Amino acid sequence: MRKLGKQRSKVLRRKAEEIYKMFPDKFSKDYEKNKKALNEMKIFHTKIDRNIIAGYMVKLAQEKIL
């Protein structure tokens, strides 16, 4: 069962940061584009994980911490 709120597991955050470092030009502040890019990569098995990482990519793109 997933926790409510904006809590993300360390594994998903780490995976998102690795993907963002490898393909920084594929991701932007647009959630739908990030979701589509992750879907094309076919990295994730579940839709929930893909959506969580797409949302985290938006945060990374906004803050530009990487």
Contact 66, 23 (CB under 8 A): no
CATH of domain 10-63: 1.10.60.20
What pTM did the predictor assign? 0.75
DSSP string, 9-50: -HHHHHHHHHHHHH-GGG--S-HHHHHHHHHHHT--S-HHHH
Spans of the chain below 70 pLDDT? 1-8, 65-66
Residue ranges of domains in the chain? 10-63
Looking up tokens 């992750």, which residue turns up? 38
pLDDT digits (tens, 9 = 90+) for 7-23: 668 888 888 889 988 98
